[in-house]
Amino acid sequence: MERLSSFVLGRWHAAAGDLSTLVDPTSEAPLAQAGSGGIDFRAVLAFARERGGPALRQLTFAERGKLLAGIAGAIHAQRDELIEVSIQSGGTTRGDAKFDIDGAIGTLTFYAGLAEKLGTKPYLLDGAGVQLGRTPRFFGQHVLVPRQGVAVHVNAFNFPAWGMMEKAACALLAGMPVLEKPGTPTALLAWRIAQLVVDKAGLPEGAYQVVIGSLGDALDHLGPQDVLAFTGSSATGAKLRGHPNVVRHNVRVNIEADSLNAAVLAPDVDPSSETFGLFLNNVALDMTQKTGQKCTAVRRILVPSDKVAMVRDELVAALARIVVGDPADKATRMGPLASKSQLDEVRAGIERLAKAGTIACGGSKPVHAKGWFVAPTLIVANDGRNPVFHAEEVFGPVAVLLPYSGDAREAASIVNLGGGGLVCSAYSNDAAWNQTFALEAAPWHGRVWLASDKLADQALPPGMVLPQMVHGGPGRAGGGEELGAERGLAFYQQRTALQGFQGHLQAL
């Protein structure tokens, strides 16, 4: 069985210590082992600060962008091989594997293109300068400069390619070296991508390091110039944020956590309209893509009370067309969950939700004799405000149909019971309804996605994370923010106010 090595201190470090076994979620056959025993994390962080950071900061934004383009090219050149690795190690269908890998390539390519527009100076201006004295001679200008530490990225298991590369793209372009820690269950794909980055991308020594396995005592050695970005459960995020050394040094932390994303159907939408068709297609897609193991997946579906039965029947029919099985089979539309622990958690979650509603399709029963499969599951709530539907995320192909009156403010108030989300979507051709809902929901969400007939044939699904727009959300969703074009660099930069003689500042 293959042992997955880590790339640290400029070399590959063989897996050692307490090893975890990675398993094919379709056949339950063991694939590889991972472990980070014996790694000196204090030295790893110092190596990045002393070698990788200075080397990156000597480069212009355009030069860093070429490095990102090199990573994208290396991944694209091995795309077909990586798709096969994803199918085997993550249980993804071919389409879902492409979604992850192409998302990584696309994000890297976007930031490589952005780099060409950022100029050759080693900093970015943050807004216009301002006169501070009685004449323009005493002047002020905010600038953004790279932090002189390490960006430690703790990534989730569900997007081993895209999740790692979207964080790395922003950090490397900003001028910070990265230490990547992939989610262990699907780390085989992340490890293969790491090999490509090391061998093909031409990054400066110390700019990119990856640990396959535990981060050990790495957090004990973080300092005030370092940053920590995490994607995963809110419980783990809270532990990382509250780590004594992280708190002591005010280490900058970004967290993307649980999100009970909602889709809302407005009362004006006619069942024969393009908007209604878009609603059905997007809900079914976001419930089942990546087997529902997607941070932007729809978990709650709000429908006017008089349309619940009709929408239930339509969704049940759509979900019945989803073939669940071996992801290597071209007929399969949804593969297994990524791990046995995920299967157990999803089944338990379905049973908890079902106590407050009725299962319209799916359920917690096994789908196949072998593998970690669960059927697409739709539950119709007895009461749309029951706290159980707004309390926890069931991280699988599971959603709840919630009745409401049709009022935009009521819809937003129910959606906001989720305590903060990454994205909510609303479907209406009534501009006033959309405006009311958006303004009421916006304080609790990182994105509000509004559908209508006017964009039904052009809009990308709400579950699609685009590098041009911010990704993150308040409250339960972690309180963090990633991507958003130049905004994605700010986490890795220090905003400083320069004050002095205007002529000197302009020359600088």
CA distance 346 to 158: 14
User: Closest by alpha carbon to 429, among 286, 274, 317, 247?
Assistant: 274
- Name the token pair of 178: 């990265």
Quote the CA–CA distance of 263 and 462 in Å, as a whole number: 9
Sign of the Cα pseudo-torsion (128, 133, 137, 139, in order)? negative
Listed in sequence order, the residues at least 6 apart from 244 whose beta carbon sits closer than 8 Å to its beta carbon are: none
Tokens of 286: 């976001």
Options 166, 170, 180, 256, the catalytic residue:
256
Q: Are 337 and 91 in contact (CB under 8 A)?
A: yes
What whole-number distance in Å separates Cα of residue 159 and Cα of residue 182? 9
CA–CA dist 145, 122 (Å, integer): 7
Q: Active-site residue 295, yes or no?
A: yes
Q: Parallel, antiparallel, or unpaired for β 398-404 and 377-381?
A: parallel
Catalytic residue among 295, 393, 481, 482: 295
Across 192-239, where does the E strand assignment appear?
208-210, 227-231
Read off the tokens for 436: 């009311």
DSSP notation for 111-124: HHHHHTTS-SSSSE
Q: Which helix (H) or strand (E) holds 341?
A: helix 340-354
- Active-site residue numbers? 256, 295
